[in-house]
Amino acid sequence: MKWISHQICTFAGTYAISDNLPLSFAVSAFSCLPDAIEFGPGKYIFRKHRGISHNPLFWLSILVISCLCSYLPLIQQTEDFLGKWSGFSTMCVLIPATGAFFHLAEDAMSKSGIPIWKGKMIAVPLYKTGTVGEFMVVLAIFILCLIPIVVSYYLFS
């Protein structure tokens, strides 16, 4: 998926799940993290596209480490200081890994897929990157994520 497609799908999915606009923007901003790592400073470590930086096990370990870091005194004190005014929570440290997991789910729907373990891939061949098929998948995800928002609007207003 193109980066803009990742951001649109991630924003729509996060907003449909959380109904939290700032959180949706934050998670969406990190939705390109696996690619940014590969093409940025990590290009010397992650030598091939959709290698370790696209592995769910790698991001699961980052998620666990982030969760453990949320209990560090510095993070706890930051929440105490900033939380009253900004809405900062210790769980904000989970945002980058959450954005990465959305990225992986979206890439798993492509023909290239994502690696799992020892050459095994998850690939649900719904689209090829940069084609009309990708646009159709993004549109379908956006519409599917819009349904609960519209339904809740009409039910609770």
CA distances from 53 to 27, 31, 96 (A): 17, 13, 13
Question: Is 141 within 8 Å of 81 (Cβ atoms)?
Answer: no
20/129 Cα distance (integer angstroms): 29
Look at residue 99 in the predicted model and tell me its pLDDT: 96
Digit-coded pLDDT (tens) for 13-59: 999 998 889 899 999 999 999 988 887 766 666 666 777 888 999 99
* pLDDT band of 92, cuts 50, 70, 90: confident
Its domain, for residue 68, covers: 3-156
Overall average pLDDT of the 65-89 stretch: 80
Number of folded domains in the chain? 1
Look at residue 153 in the predicted model and tell me its pLDDT: 84
Cβ neighbours of residue 44 under 8 Å, at least 6 residues apart?
none
SS (H, E, C) the chain: CCHHHHHHHHHHHHHHHHCCHHHHHHHHHCCCHHHHHHHCHHHHCCCCCCCHHHCHHHHHHHHHHHHHHCCCHHHHHHHHHHHHHHCCCHHHHHHHHHHHHHHHHHHHCECCCEEEECCEEECCCCECCCCHHHHHHHHHHHHHHHHHHHHHHHHHC
* pLDDT band of 138, cuts 50, 70, 90: very high
Q: Which residue has the higher pLDDT, 120 or 42?
A: 120
3/15 Cα distance (integer angstroms): 18
What is the pTM assigned to this prediction? 0.86
